[in-house]
Amino acid sequence: LVVRTETPFNAGMPPATLVDSQVTPIERFFVRSHAPAPEIDEAAFRLSVGGATEKTLGLSLGELRDRFPKKTVVATLQCAGNRRAELSAVEPINDQVQWDADPIGNAEWGGVPLREVLQAAGIGEGALHAAFTGLDGVQEKGTTFGFGGSVPIEKAMSAEVLLAYEMNGQPLPLDHGAPLRVVVPGYIGARSVKWLGSISLQAEPSDNHYQARAYKIFPPHVRADTADWPNGLMLGELSVTSAICRPAAGENVAISPVTVQGYAAAGGGRLVERVEVSVDGGESWAVANLLGEPNRWAWRLWEIRLDLDPGEHELISRAWDSAANTQPEDVRKIWNFKGYMNNAWHRVTVNVAG
Amino acid sequence: LVVRTETPFNAGMPPATLVDSQVTPIERFFVRSHAPAPEIDEAAFRLSVGGATEKTLGLSLGELRDRFPKKTVVATLQCAGNRRAELSAVEPINDQVQWDADPIGNAEWGGVPLREVLQAAGIGEGALHAAFTGLDGVQEKGTTFGFGGSVPIEKAMSAEVLLAYEMNGQPLPLDHGAPLRVVVPGYIGARSVKWLGSISLQAEPSDNHYQARAYKIFPPHVRADTADWPNGLMLGELSVTSAICRPAAGENVAISPVTVQGYAAAGGGRLVERVEVSVDGGESWAVANLLGEPNRWAWRLWEIRLDLDPGEHELISRAWDSAANTQPEDVRKIWNFKGYMNNAWHRVTVNVAG
């Protein structure tokens, strides 16, 4: 893993390695943390479930395993800050992790469907959002609190949202949120709260800093001091994206045809319908081969072989989802001062040997 | 209505009039037909429901009204060919209706939730799609058949899909599909089959020409004779879009500030989160005021007052949806030979008097 920050721990793999397998091995799965991993006494651990519920629950890990069905979901997690470095190249975005196309991975998550737990607690009146709070200690503005976020109740009650205690068939690793994390497929990674301590059903989205203020996008001309924070676009479902992983940026390629490989992902359960690659600045596009099978919650790896003349070439990828949304052309036009949701056409310049 | 073609009847209002009301009056609602309106004997009419169902049904209009609950849904319908004229300006798209930003409208539809009828028939094994066929007579490739299309069974079973027999509290007009039409909110208008005659549950999408071949998008370099038809992107949910309705293109505006008004719509139940307007080619954007209330199935009208110097100005709008998808910048980069889903930034040039 390429370490971005040590404390809290943030790291990812070189993008070229992401396309090695449909399911990302744990040791290669990016880590995104807002606080150091907390020490949690698993014997004493109780997941608190309350708010607008008919009763409150305090569930031990044993109860979560024994009282509720276990389900596995193959799902991609992606940080809303994916490809922030390209935004920072337009205008620097400070105090944020400078991610390349690396904070994305696909795993088989095992755990309890969240809706089973919510049904056991009973959905109360006015329960419009499920808010999650972690047991970590984020420091922000001089206070310490658990990282948190929320999803609408319809999403919380969907079949795909898990309280996960396993990853790729292994016990969930500490860096990925052990002993228990939320996994919200199709949403920005920040909603998949790690080191989960409590769930609250409530009428409004979470008032946690990371829901109420961070993870919002603002128009390009807005800066922190001019932001109308309550009216920022509160992120939820991911937008459609793709990235070229191989060849890597700046790579010298010995021979043509060149095999170009990458990933594509669509948010909210939409499917990746098509990935296109251009070598002429977007004037014409070739259609890449989608690998594997369609899966509403998982990325789609793709590849294409291109005949390229010797010299320097800019390779561009763009994906289309099942709602016919595609990626914006120009990263400058979607720049935002927090550096989120850069799904502009992905561009990689390579050199083909003469 | 501005008539685009007399037979079949296709017509829409000048875009400037679309923003007059949140609910579009019937007499101003665009009409999109692939065949002349059929003469249907309402007394003899029976809606056929079959395929992968536990039993087949033949439901009279009286039975549909009396045996099933009635529901109203305010929903926007939008043709996949909205703004085709802009695509044709890049390269002509022949034999298609040359729509401006007009084939869109928002109505209160009244009728039976489709799922009530499907539940009465019983969902059979292998029922993955609900296919609809009209009683009109489309002529295509020397044969005559009813216009048709399908939606996935999850959508068919959702709360918002109706078999509508009323529009804005009135009996459904013939041009809008009387006596019965499907209304599929959030999907391209073509799935809201008019003059509905039969519903079939089945394992595959409809093999009707308008699902299996038309209403697909292909990459910009593909033409009819090079299209890999089965692998086109089969349209379903709409992508995010917006349009400037007032001032109209080419309009001479007497005074500044200028009130700019338009519509925005997001597909698949996503919300319009933000509409931005630029007067400098997309370098900077002002945020428009969204009118009315959020509604997953209805358009969002918007307005903004702009101070403009005397002279010519290009006004541009773009919308963002709740999955952080936004509109593509350049219509040339999404050109497709069938002319669908043009959701590029909408550009209107106006003159401000000196």
- The two most distant CA atoms of chain B are separated, in Å, by 71
Give the mean model confidence (pLDDT) for residues A265-286. 97
* Nearest chain A residue to B340, by CA: A324
CA A75 and chain centroid, separation: 10
Q: What is the pLDDT of residue A255?
A: 85
Q: What is the pLDDT of residue B326?
A: 97
Q: Look-up: residue for tokens 């969930």?
A: A172
- Whole-angstrom distance, CA of residue B350 vs CA of residue B354: 13
pLDDT bracket for residue B255 (50, 70, 90) = confident
Q: Is the pLDDT of residue B327 over 90?
A: yes
Under 8 Å between Cβ of B162 and B71 = yes
Min distance B282 CA to chain A CA atoms (Å): 7
pLDDT bracket for residue B190 (50, 70, 90) = very high
Query: Rounded to the nearest 5°, which phi and psi values hold at B3?
Result: -80, 125
- Whole-angstrom distance, CA of residue A18 vs CA of residue A243: 10
Q: What is the pLDDT of residue A178?
A: 98
Prior bond of A220 cis (ω within 30°): no
- Whole-angstrom distance, CA of residue B195 vs CA of residue B175: 9
Q: Using the beta-carbon criterion (under 8 Å), do B341 and A324 form an inter-chain contact?
A: yes
Q: What is the CB neighbour count within 10 angstroms for residue B289?
A: 11
Instruction: Return mean pLDDT, chain A.
Output: 97
The tokens for B138 are 């489309």
Chain B interface disruption, residue of A242, A326, A335, A341, most B CBs within 10 A: A326
Taking CA B128 as the corner, what is the angle to CA B124 and CA B131, rounded to the nearest 5 degrees?
95
* Nearest chain A residue to B334, by CA: A326
Give the mean model confidence (pLDDT) for residues A185-197. 98
pLDDT bracket for residue B354 (50, 70, 90) = confident
Within 8 A of B286 by CB-CB distance, chain A residues are: 219
Within 8 A of A330 by CB-CB distance, chain B residues are: 329
Give the mean model confidence (pLDDT) for residues B304-311. 96
The tokens for A220 are 């390009």
Within 8 A of B320 by CB-CB distance, chain A residues are: 217, 233
Residue scoring higher pLDDT (A207 or A354): A207
CA dihedral over A201, A207, A210, A211, signed as positive or negative: positive
* Nearest chain A residue to B284, by CA: A221
Q: What is the pLDDT of residue A224?
A: 93
Residues on chain B bordering chain A, Cβ-to-Cβ distance under 8 angstroms? 217, 219-221, 233-240, 267-268, 270, 273-274, 276, 282, 284-287, 320, 322-326, 328-330, 333-334, 340-341, 343
Indicate the pTM of the whole model: 0.95
Within 8 A of B233 by CB-CB distance, chain A residues are: 273-274, 320, 322, 324
Give the 3-state secondary structure of chain B. Answer: CEEEECCCCEEECCHHHHHHCCCCCHHHCCECCCCCCCCCCCCCCCEEEEECECCCEEECHHHHHHCCCCEEEEEEEECCCCCHHHHHHHCCCCCCCCCCCCCEEEEEEEEEEHHHHHHHHCECCCCCEEEEEECCCEEECCEEECCEEEEEHHHHCCCCCEEEEEECCEECCHHHCCCCEEECCCECHHHCCCCEEEEEEECCCCCCHHHHCCCEECCCCCCHHHCCHHHCEECCECCCEEEEEECCCCCEECCCCEEEEEEEECCCCCCEEEEEEECCCCCCCEECEECCCCCCCCCEEEEEEECCCCEEEEEEEEEEECCCCECCCCHHHHCCCCCCCCCCCEEEEEEECC
- Whole-angstrom distance, CA of residue B79 vs CA of residue A272: 22
* Nearest chain B residue to A323, by CA: B237
Q: What is the pLDDT of residue A64?
A: 98
Min distance A339 CA to chain B CA atoms (Å): 13
* Nearest chain B residue to A277, by CA: B219
Q: Using the beta-carbon criterion (under 8 Å), do B220 and A284 form an inter-chain contact?
A: yes
Min distance A317 CA to chain B CA atoms (Å): 13
Per 3-state DSSP, what percentage of chain A is helix, strand, and coil (rounded to 5)? 15, 35, 50
Within 8 A of B220 by CB-CB distance, chain A residues are: 284-285
Q: Using the beta-carbon criterion (under 8 Å), do A324 and B217 form an inter-chain contact?
A: yes
Within chain A, residue ranges assigned H as helices are 61-66, 84-90, 114-121, 153-156, 209-212
Closest listed residue to residue A336, CA positions, set B262, B238, B264, B287: B287
Within 8 A of A234 by CB-CB distance, chain B residues are: 273
- In terms of residues, how long is chain A? 354
Under 8 Å between Cβ of B172 and B179 = yes
Q: Is the pLDDT of residue A141 over 90?
A: no
Q: Is the pLDDT of residue B141 over 90?
A: no
Q: Using the beta-carbon criterion (under 8 Å), do A326 and B320 form an inter-chain contact?
A: no
Instruction: Return mean pLDDT, chain B.
Output: 97
Give the mean model confidence (pLDDT) for residues A45-63. 98
Q: What is the pLDDT of residue A171?
A: 98
- Whole-angstrom distance, CA of residue B237 vs CA of residue B78: 11
Within 8 A of A235 by CB-CB distance, chain B residues are: 324
Residue A114 DSSP label? H
Q: Using the beta-carbon criterion (under 8 Å), do A219 and B276 form an inter-chain contact?
A: yes
pLDDT bracket for residue A256 (50, 70, 90) = confident
- Whole-angstrom distance, CA of residue B239 vs CA of residue A205: 25
Chain A interface disruption, residue of B325, B331, B337, most A CBs within 10 A: B325
Under 8 Å between Cβ of B75 and B175 = no
* Nearest chain B residue to A320, by CA: B233
Across A178-187, A248-257, B59-68, least confident range: A248-257
Q: Using the beta-carbon criterion (under 8 Å), do A323 and B220 form an inter-chain contact?
A: no
Give the mean model confidence (pLDDT) for residues A176-191. 98
Within 8 A of A238 by CB-CB distance, chain B residues are: 323-324
- Whole-angstrom distance, CA of residue A307 vs CA of residue A313: 11
Q: What is the pLDDT of residue A5?
A: 93
Closest listed residue to residue A281, CA positions, set A349, A354, A352: A349
Q: Is the pLDDT of residue A354 over 80?
A: no
Query: Nearest Cβ partner of A233 from B233, B320, B343?
Result: B320
Q: What is the pLDDT of residue A304?
A: 98
Give the mean model confidence (pLDDT) for residues A42-63. 98
* Model pLDDT for residues B9-56, shown as the tens digit of each residue: 999 999 999 999 999 999 999 999 999 999 999 999 999 999 999 999
End-to-end CA distance of chain B: 33
Residues on chain A bordering chain B, Cβ-to-Cβ distance under 8 angstroms? 217, 219-221, 233-240, 267-268, 270, 273-274, 276, 282, 284-287, 320, 322-326, 328-330, 333-334, 340-341, 343
What is the Cβ-side half-sphere exposure of residue A127, based on CA atoms within 13 angstroms?
A: 25
Asked whether the ipTM of the predicted complex exceeds the cut of 0.90, the reply is yes
Within 8 A of B239 by CB-CB distance, chain A residues are: 323-326
Prior bond of B328 cis (ω within 30°): no
Q: Using the beta-carbon criterion (under 8 Å), do B267 and A323 form an inter-chain contact?
A: yes
Q: Using the beta-carbon criterion (under 8 Å), do A324 and B276 form an inter-chain contact?
A: no
Q: Using the beta-carbon criterion (under 8 Å), do B268 and A267 form an inter-chain contact?
A: no
Min distance B237 CA to chain A CA atoms (Å): 5
pLDDT bracket for residue A303 (50, 70, 90) = very high
Chain B interface disruption, residue of A279, A325, A336, A347, most B CBs within 10 A: A325
Within 8 A of A329 by CB-CB distance, chain B residues are: 328-330, 333
Q: Using the beta-carbon criterion (under 8 Å), do B220 and A285 form an inter-chain contact?
A: yes
Taking CA A29 as the corner, what is the angle to CA A28 and CA A32, rounded to the nearest 5 degrees?
130
